[in-house]
Chain A
């Protein structure tokens, strides 16, 4: 097991280094001059100011030098400064990362509980009316355009019914809880501020539900298929024949066997969630990595673009690593392979 994890870790590390190089080269060959992109019409027409800006941004050095300076900074945990926020990119990532993580994890939680739960129901009721309704529901979840769903959800639940707020992580002008994890839901509880906790949850619900829609659909289908598959296996029949109670058959045998493919799906779906967050964060004015990346790209904020790329790559790699390791734990055949 240890060797298996070490191998996976080594591969992950190589991936990270490759990502940094690719991200850096890509931003370097991007059309557009990051220095003048920051300047106004009048300032851009003044060579002195443009030169001062290029110097300030380190763009006056040759590319290879810039890369080594950047790498050197990375080892010191310095990702450079963002042009947009004028803060170090690392600070920005620490600030916006947890916001996105809170949203993505909430969406995943909703998807696992709702999608997984309904998937099991559909499998156990295969080919009945209940199953058909649930299958239609999952198809809807997978195929609904997230952008449209977000707009519809806000206009109904936020604007008309006013059940939920339509934007931000907290009400306007509210002071965030003292920072521990960066998750407002957790930090507000740690601070013992219940009203603030409810406010944070309130703001989280709508975007999380919208973001979870495709994943709910996907998980339902996979769980259903996976459970059906396991139900047909020899060892389940054997267990039933032994006279085990139905509950222990399902929870002891069926679910364990059905878990492997489902974990894969959660892993890959979580990664695709990151793409969804860009849209959802834009619509709900959720200050996370998605909207940060969008702004960085549109203003040629190079340090921020590279920073976000590395950050997202790390998450992908980490999630894949966890998925692999979980496999190994659940299914011994995989780690011996």
Chain B
């Protein structure tokens, strides 16, 4: 067939032009030319967002913690990566009565909110009561607590029962102090019906009302959230005037760090970090996240997992060090349910060594050939680790001692529901601390939140429950330590909850920014970067 040559040229030209246009539109030097010095101080942080709200009273997420810790001050705080001793912040000093039911805080002089209003005890009372009454995710922090202010510079927190965790609890960004006048003007209330009547969330998602080192410039839960330094800040001014937190997957973070688009990446796993070049600084620490699995102790849920013989078979049938290999570099085996940096954490001397024969013998006592189901969330990952490989390894290890484990992966929305309903025969989950204190881990005891989900109800283990009762009211930390250890030793022996490991958490930063430390409480302390 005859084809005019000119036509071919024309058509080819069209295609070529299109490609050339595409190439021209991209200037080869994509160095972002800063129009002025304004932006040169911008620090870009990549984080995989789980951001929901910028209203402290409603916030209870990891990313929200990072953002709001920089925007709102709390009564006390933690700093420099030390999670053992709460430090003064809005409260310059504090004291506790003999039975740990009454805490008195002295409010620091000279703190003003970012709009210049002075911060008083009244703001503290309003903020804490609002958290309690809005009934959001973090409202349990205030359960059993009431707050009053006898005068303008004193706040008293009273607990119905002995509560040694109050100082750790009040460091939470959820209990950040808001400008009560400003928030009230914009629909906020600390009244008892706040769950129905408080409408300040929309306002707080656009304007911050805090006294912290930063203020919100823009807040978006899906793309990026921008912070600017608060000129009214009472403490040491932060190094970076403007901080951009961008929502990015771990894969995108790797690209961004390599191309210099981002200064800091928070979600890179150890494999990704190993492939990075030389001009980055890496800080790796153990995250306080606890991976664990449980064997349901409720006979109505499972005849098998509720039997002590089965628990013994699992206790000696699991090879914990082999689990750790899967968790990557920097992860740490858990000898008890309380994370390593907390009071009363168990050490390697409490480790159980694998004993296949003993486990097999226990399975024999059960009549041999047992089959159980292990449920886990397949669409969920934390610290770059997903649950699947661990579930598979548990199944493989238990197969060696004669236990058949059927894996039951499911989307988190559905598995979470059966986990919370206490209907899982075996469940593989993780736990992030609600506040940095060992008391939070009593949730794993009989009758505790996680205990209940594992069918381990109050009254099933009187010996353990007595220890739990004792440690709750012991105000001397030195005396609390052995009690927490005993609680864990007894729990390990009971074998309902099986702690696995704490994953590594890494903060990767470019060499221009320098080392940025992982913060065991807030994940990242934005105001401390560059100091």
Contacts and interface: CB of A to CB of B under 8 A. Distances in A.
Contact of B261 (A43, A113, A172, A282): A172
Contacts of A201: 25-26
Given A41-B449, A298-B412, A86 B252 contact: no
B44 interface: yes
A43 B140 contact: yes
A129 to B, nearest CB: 13
Contacts of A85: 220-222
Given A205-B25, A298-B379, A43 B137 contact: yes
A37 B52 CA distance: 13
B251 A37 contact: no
Contacts of B414: 31-32
Contact of A166 (B12, B32, B39, B255): B255
B129 to A, nearest CB: 16
A158 B248 CA distance: 15
Contacts, number: 186
A293 B1 CA distance: 50
Interface in A237-295: 240, 246-247, 250, 282-285, 287, 291-292, 295
B19 interface: yes
Interface in A10-28: none
Interface stretch (B3-11, B316-324, B356-364): B3-11
A206 B333 CA distance: 43
Given A84-B222, A125-B8, A164 B30 contact: yes
A44 B420 contact: yes
Contacts of A114: 15, 18-19
Given A42-B140, A285-B246, A298-B411, A166 B261 contact: yes
A308 interface: no
A220 to B, nearest CB: 10
Given A41-B431, A43-B139, A31 B252 contact: no
A165 B261 contact: yes
Interface string A213-228: 0000000000000000
Contact of B226 (A166, A173, A250): A173
Contacts of A71: none
A328 interface: no
A46 B434 CA distance: 15
B138 interface: yes
Interface string B440-480: 00010000011010000000000000000000000000000
B258 interface: yes
B222 A166 contact: no
A155 B137 CA distance: 40
A125 B3 CA distance: 7
Interface in B310-355: none
A326 interface: no
Contacts of A168: 223-224, 246
B274 interface: no
B42 A154 contact: no
Given A40-B138, A113-B14, A285-B246, A86 B255 contact: no
Interface stretch (A72-80, A116-124, A309-317): A116-124
Contacts of B3: 124-125, 246
A43 B224 contact: no
B417 A31 contact: yes
Nearest to B141: A42
A198 B226 contact: no
Interface residues of B, number: 75
Given A114-B15, A114-B19, A300 B242 contact: no
A90 interface: no
A52 interface: yes
Given A41-B431, A173-B242, A201-B25, A295 B222 contact: yes
B186 interface: no
A126 B1 contact: yes
A5 interface: no
Nearest to B257: A159
A32 B30 contact: no
A65 interface: no
Given A172-B44, A298-B411, A32 B259 contact: no
A215 to B, nearest CB: 14
Interface centre among A86, A118, A172 (most CB of B within 10 A): A172
B262 interface: yes
Contacts of B138: 40, 43
Nearest to A231: B1
Contacts of A52: 135, 195-196
B255 A167 contact: yes
Contacts of A282: 249
Contact of B224 (A42, A172, A205, A250): A172
A232 B60 CA distance: 69
Contacts of B52: 83-84, 86
Given A110-B18, A205-B22, A285-B246, A86 B262 contact: no
Contact of A117 (B11, B246, B262): B11
Given A43-B139, A159-B258, A171-B32, A117 B42 contact: no
Nearest to B35: A195
Interface in B223-269: 223-224, 226, 242, 244, 246-249, 251-252, 255-256, 258-262
Interface string A182-197: 0000000000000100
A30 B443 CA distance: 30
A289 to B, nearest CB: 11
B221 A86 contact: yes
B27 interface: yes
B30 A167 contact: no
A162 B30 CA distance: 7
Interface in A118-142: 118, 120-121, 124-126
B159 interface: no
A250 B222 contact: no
Interface in B279-310: none
A180 interface: no
Contacts of B256: 166-167
A322 interface: no
B81 interface: no
A334 B111 CA distance: 76
17 contacts: A40-B137, A41-B431, A42-B443, A84-B221, A110-B22, A113-B15, A121-B12, A124-B11, A151-B251, A164-B30, A172-B224, A173-B42, A240-B2, A246-B3, A246-B6, A247-B6, A298-B379
Interface of B: 1-4, 6-8, 10-12, 14-15, 18-19, 22, 25-28, 30, 32-33, 35, 39, 42, 44, 52-53, 60, 135-140, 195-196, 201-202, 205, 220-224, 226, 242, 244, 246-249, 251-252, 255-256, 258-262, 379, 411-414, 416-417, 420, 431, 434, 443, 449-450, 452
Listed from nearest, the 6 A-B pairs whose CB atoms lie closest are: A246-B4, A32-B413, A117-B15, A173-B244, A113-B18, A42-B140
Given A32-B417, A40-B434, 18 more contacts: A32-B413, A32-B416, A42-B443, A48-B135, A52-B195, A86-B52, A86-B201, A117-B12, A118-B15, A124-B7, A154-B255, A162-B30, A166-B259, A171-B261, A173-B242, A205-B25, A283-B252, A291-B222
